[in-house]
Structure 1
Amino acid sequence: MFHRIDQAAIGRAGVAALVVFVAVTPAAAAGDAEIAGRSLGVVWALPFVGILLSIALMPLIAPHFWHHHYGKVALGWALAFAVPFAVVQGGTPAAHALAHTALLEYIPFVALLGSLFTIAGGILIKGNLHGSPKTNLAILGGGTLLASVIGTTGASMVLIRPLIRANDERIHNVHVVVFFIFLVSNVGGSLTPLGDPPLFLGYLKGVGFFWTTVHMLAETIFVAVILLAVFHVLDRRYYAMDHRFRGFYDPTPDSRRIRLEGKINILLLAVVVAAVLMSGSWKPGIEYVVYGTPLQLQDLLRDVILIVAAGLSLVLTPRDTRAANGFTWGPIVEVAKLFAGIFVTIIPVIAMLKAGRDGPFGGLVALVSHADGTPNNAMYFWLTGILSSFLDNAPTYLVFFNLAGGDPVELMGPLASTLLAISCGAVFMGANTYIGNAPNFMVKAIAEERGVHMPSFFGYMVWSGAVLIPTFVLVTAVFFRP
């Protein structure tokens, strides 16, 4: 049944789309636009540092201004890079780089992220969800498994709202969302290319679909079990302290049995998964050139299917279901605007990293090899992970994938342990900051919209530093010893 859509929300989404269209995915910009990273100075990284500091500090020192103008701040930092870059490199090369990356990377990114956000927002889990330690553990554990099937974004969007509703009356509920980001929005996406963007890029480069399922299984179980155990201990402690909530069995207004509404969206999620698989496996060899950018037929078809699936979700899902789910366009608009600035300003940083030992970050890149030239897998894990925490994990994965040789056959064979280290670093450590993986910020935005007092940028890093970093040290000792 057709229903009216909030025009103001659509307007905000449209503005965000226009802004993000200018944004580019750094992997493509750095390589395909042939930006000579070795000739760039570190001064080109200042806009990227600026936008990171803005995201970290402005919500603390100027919250009102940031809430109303974060998009303008992001645009300002993007222009601080883009305008001088166009002057130095020339307007035409800069325009070609923007068009190339927007068409090949941005539109697929937004189509996938937007379709999962829209479709998952139409799935409503209703009933007596009481945020007890057992319930929370079940949701986080189930979400961790689900993330490799429908992606970290899909699983996050399906489960974050019912999880928040289950814990909405608890005195201490921030840790629930933080561990949700750790597990469902990141670690859970480790086992298939559908799970997380870095692994999907590896799949497109020739890595077998089930390679990560086989090779990352032990590491994923290791990390997930540790995080779930730490969460359960912490959650039990907070739960025991909350005497009022323990006696209040149902903090939501619905006390009937657990049930699902918007079931048509489950079918639409399956359509999204099928479309992604199709684009990675079907190679008809047909392409169209737009402004110097070759567009493959299978990729165009995938994006059309994703957009149509999202549109069908809006049409077929009852308006009351979305309203009961607390669905708004705000989180996706916020992510779109902020990541627009991040993706633009990150271009020179990725280019300098891609220059390898000949670039400004040559000393950093040299750390991934031993003196005899063999790969240092522990450093591949940590460098890929640390950079994925701040530079977005998908392009960072590609940088180190290429640095390790870029041959999928060799990387799945003699260098399998190196590919494993790169994959684990990119996926696991995307959880270290809010900007390491797109679902992180979306979950934060939804939680804040529902009244959860989420930690600041640095506050979240205190959580990740206390919980994740020691876990990753154990991963290194067990799986990636130098």
Structure 2
Amino acid sequence: MNRWSFSQLMTAVFTLTAVCLLPCLALAAGGHGAPHLDGAELGVMWVIPFACMLLSIAIFPLTAPHFWHHNFGKVAAFWALAFIIPFTVKFGFSLALYEVIHTLFLEYIPFIILLLSLFTVAGGVRLKGSLVGTPVVNTGLLLIGTVLASWMGTTGAAMLLIRPLLRANAHRKYKVHSVVFFIFLVANIGGSLTPLGDPPLFLGFLKGVSFFWTTIHMLVPMLFVAAILLALFFVVDTMLFAKEGKPVPPTDASGEKLGLEGKINLLLLVGVVCSVLLSGLWKPGISLDLYHVPVELQNIVRDVLLLVIAGLSLKLTDPESRRKNDFNWFPIIEVAKLFSGIFISMIPAIAILKAGESGALRSVIEMVSHNGQPVNVMYFWLTGLLSSFLDNAPTYLVFFNTAGGDAVHLMNDLSHTLLAISAGAVFMGANTYIGNAPNFMVRSIAEDQGVKMPSFFGYMMWSGGILIPVFILVTFVFF
């Protein structure tokens, strides 16, 4: 398995940035206004590379695991190029370069830097001693993670607690269900209550939705869903625990008392959250123009701070503690490579959605309104289902704007519509491995520690059998 050092990882990040930046700077001097992609000009055929990217993630690990393990980065690059090359031929080099740079610098690179920082910092926190993965302990860990997710982000909470959960259940025969429910609750549902919890809610906050609007309005739906899932998990885990014969783990030879090691990383996690919040609140009005793509100063500062925090975590954490925490770089490398292909090949899908009633998916947009009135059930399901396969943050914005885009109006007169959009984007990010940022990383960490996780479609069988009935209940109760 490929093990990269932090320095190698950072070299890769900066090399990618440089490769993208140099042609931008060279061409920017000759530019005469920002290129513009009109999603109304794109047919659904342009979504084929993105669909093939998803199918590759779903099929190759099952049919050609050895090939996939050594070449998933090349496969991601292939499908990215399968979009970029025809797009360049059709619409010209200038527009193609603009779209790629826009996606890399405003979406992908910030996304990876945030994940890298959270992955590094959370990986420095080690729970000493032995937690025994009984149904009560496992349910307690999921509950704690669900509570933490709204205040430190789903990614932060997931990276902090997935390793303790895996170690607590290392002696168990049945482990997959624990990781699947962990993704449901900690990596998604738990992030419902504040803009810090999940990127779609943070975008709503930037658009004018008050910070505690989500806390007030999402609290009951979140508790409803979380209570059902926690109760169901406890029942399932209790049955499987009994089926295993209530196993007892081997005695911990280290004799360590239960406690936390690397506590400085908890303070650094607060620094990560503050850095992200700063970029949303501080608006100096200064930006660096890279081939007509404005990279704002607050976002540059945020990304630099996140990289500094990651470096401090490595400097201040005992390497032996990370080793005992089963920390290595492969999960973040895998996510970085695969999501590069996802973000690039996803460009036309997002553009078509943004075109609204003028785009190839006009029938989807038209379903959320009837006689000028919002259909909240469809807002919930369409936002959710599209968020399951596309980035849930821009999907949230598409439907936020479709509903009028006026935060004050939405918070008051159309509060149920805003609730439907918010709940759909956050809740249904759990439907697939790529629905929300930490899902795939949790899966990768679990597999790295020997848990045989479901395939892409296998996971969707879990989410379809468990989450979809719960979301149908949510529909009847709240919308």
TM-score scaled by length of structure 1: 0.92
Quote the Cα distance in structure 1 between the aligned partners of 2:247 and 2:82: 55
- Aligned to 2:288, the other structure's residue is in SS state strand
Quote the Cα distance in structure 2 between the aligned partners of 1:175 and 1:20: 39
Quote the Cα distance in structure 1 between the aligned partners of 2:258 and 2:472: 40
Kindly indicate whether residue 394 of structure 2 is the aligned counterpart of residue 395 of structure 1: yes
Deviates more, 1:66-75 or 1:358-367: 358-367
User: Cα deviation per residue 1:243-272 (whole Å; 9 max; x = unaligned)?
Assistant: 1xx342457554543100011101111111
Opposite residue 11 of structure 1, the aligned amino acid is Q
Quote the Cα distance in structure 1 between the aligned partners of 2:398 and 2:148: 28
Deviates more, 1:34-43 or 1:467-476: 34-43
- Aligned to 2:124, the other structure's residue is in SS state coil
Deviates more, 1:149-158 or 1:403-412: 403-412
User: Cα deviation per residue 1:357-410 (whole Å; 9 max; x = unaligned)?
Assistant: 22111111111112x110100000000111111112112111111111122122
Cα pair distance change 1:61/1:17, threshold 3 Å:
farther
Quote the Cα distance in structure 2 between the aligned partners of 1:14 and 1:162: 30
Cα pair distance change 1:61/1:356, threshold 3 Å:
same
The match for 1:382 is 381
Quote the Cα distance in structure 1 between the aligned partners of 2:161 and 2:250: 18
The match for 1:408 is 407
Quote the Cα distance in structure 2 between the aligned partners of 1:426 and 1:302: 24
The match for 1:80 is 82
Q: Is the 8 A contact 2:103 2:343 kept in 1?
A: no
Quote the Cα distance in structure 2 between the aligned partners of 1:403 and 1:336: 31
Quote the Cα distance in structure 2 between the aligned partners of 1:258 and 1:194: 29
The match for 2:440 is 441
Cα pair distance change 1:33/1:131, threshold 3 Å:
farther
Q: Is the 8 A contact 2:191 2:197 kept in 1?
A: yes
Cα pair distance change 1:144/1:125, threshold 3 Å:
same
Matches within 5 A, 1:330-349: 330-349=330-349
Quote the Cα distance in structure 2 between the aligned partners of 1:153 and 1:224: 17
User: Cα deviation per residue 1:414-446 (whole Å; 9 max; x = unaligned)?
Assistant: 111111101100100000010101100000000
Quote the Cα distance in structure 1 between the aligned partners of 2:239 and 2:90: 58
User: Cα deviation per residue 1:330-352 (whole Å; 9 max; x = unaligned)?
Assistant: 00111111111111111111111
Quote the Cα distance in structure 1 between the aligned partners of 2:19 and 2:379: 31
- Aligned to 1:216, the other structure's residue is in SS state helix
Deviates more, 1:255-264 or 1:211-220: 255-264
The match for 2:423 is 424
Q: Is the 8 A contact 1:130 1:250 kept in 2?
A: no
Matched residue pairs, number?
A: 464
The match for 1:324 is 324
Opposite residue 90 of structure 2, the aligned amino acid is V
TM-score scaled by length of structure 2: 0.93
The match for 2:302 is 302
Shift of 1:105: 2.3
Deviates more, 1:315-324 or 1:101-110: 101-110
Quote the Cα distance in structure 1 between the aligned partners of 2:17 and 2:170: 33
Q: Is the 8 A contact 2:411 2:418 kept in 1?
A: yes
The match for 2:166 is 164
Matches within 5 A, 1:21-100: 34-100=36-102
Q: Is the 8 A contact 2:368 2:375 kept in 1?
A: yes
Matches within 5 A, 1:42-441: 42-243=44-245, 246-250=246-250, 253-370=253-370, 372-441=371-440
For structure 1, the residue ranges without an aligned partner over 5 or more in a row are: 1-5, 24-31
- Aligned to 1:360, the other structure's residue is in SS state coil
Deviates more, 1:329-338 or 1:89-98: 89-98
Opposite residue 361 of structure 2, the aligned amino acid is F
Q: Is the 8 A contact 1:59 1:66 kept in 2?
A: yes
Cα pair distance change 1:472/1:272, threshold 3 Å:
same
Cα pair distance change 1:21/1:468, threshold 3 Å:
farther
- Identity score, percent: 60
- Aligned to 1:451, the other structure's residue is in SS state coil
Quote the Cα distance in structure 1 between the aligned partners of 2:17 and 2:426: 24
Quote the Cα distance in structure 2 between the aligned partners of 1:363 and 1:118: 43
Quote the Cα distance in structure 1 between the aligned partners of 2:311 and 2:13: 18
Q: Is the 8 A contact 1:13 1:329 kept in 2?
A: no
Quote the Cα distance in structure 2 between the aligned partners of 1:444 and 1:19: 25
User: Cα deviation per residue 1:92-130 (whole Å; 9 max; x = unaligned)?
Assistant: 122122223322222322221111111001000111210
Quote the Cα distance in structure 2 between the aligned partners of 1:22 and 1:147: 35
Opposite residue 349 of structure 1, the aligned amino acid is A
Cα pair distance change 1:62/1:310, threshold 3 Å:
same
Quote the Cα distance in structure 1 between the aligned partners of 2:385 and 2:60: 23
Cα pair distance change 1:123/1:377, threshold 3 Å:
same
The match for 1:3 is none
Quote the Cα distance in structure 2 between the aligned partners of 1:252 and 1:438: 34
Quote the Cα distance in structure 2 between the aligned partners of 1:413 and 1:293: 34
Cα pair distance change 1:478/1:122, threshold 3 Å:
same
Q: Is the 8 A contact 1:412 1:419 kept in 2?
A: yes
Opposite residue 257 of structure 1, the aligned amino acid is K
Return structure 1 stretches of 4+ with deviation > 4 angstroms. Answer: 6-10, 12-23, 249-255
Q: 1:11 aligns with which of 8, 11, 19?
A: 8
Cα pair distance change 1:137/1:95, threshold 3 Å:
same
Quote the Cα distance in structure 2 between the aligned partners of 1:131 and 1:160: 13
User: Cα deviation per residue 1:10-50 (whole Å; 9 max; x = unaligned)?
Assistant: 43664477569999xxxxxxxx8632111111110110110
Q: Is the 8 A contact 1:22 1:102 kept in 2?
A: no
- Aligned to 1:260, the other structure's residue is in SS state strand
Deviates more, 1:280-289 or 1:307-316: 280-289
Opposite residue 226 of structure 1, the aligned amino acid is I
Quote the Cα distance in structure 2 between the aligned partners of 1:107 and 1:33: 21
Cα pair distance change 1:33/1:226, threshold 3 Å:
farther
- Aligned to 2:237, the other structure's residue is in SS state helix
Quote the Cα distance in structure 2 between the aligned partners of 1:451 and 1:9: 23
Opposite residue 55 of structure 1, the aligned amino acid is I
Quote the Cα distance in structure 2 between the aligned partners of 1:16 and 1:256: 38
Quote the Cα distance in structure 1 between the aligned partners of 2:469 and 2:289: 48
Q: Is the 8 A contact 1:191 1:213 kept in 2?
A: yes
User: Cα deviation per residue 1:177-233 (whole Å; 9 max; x = unaligned)?
Assistant: 000000000000111111111111112222211111111001100000000000000
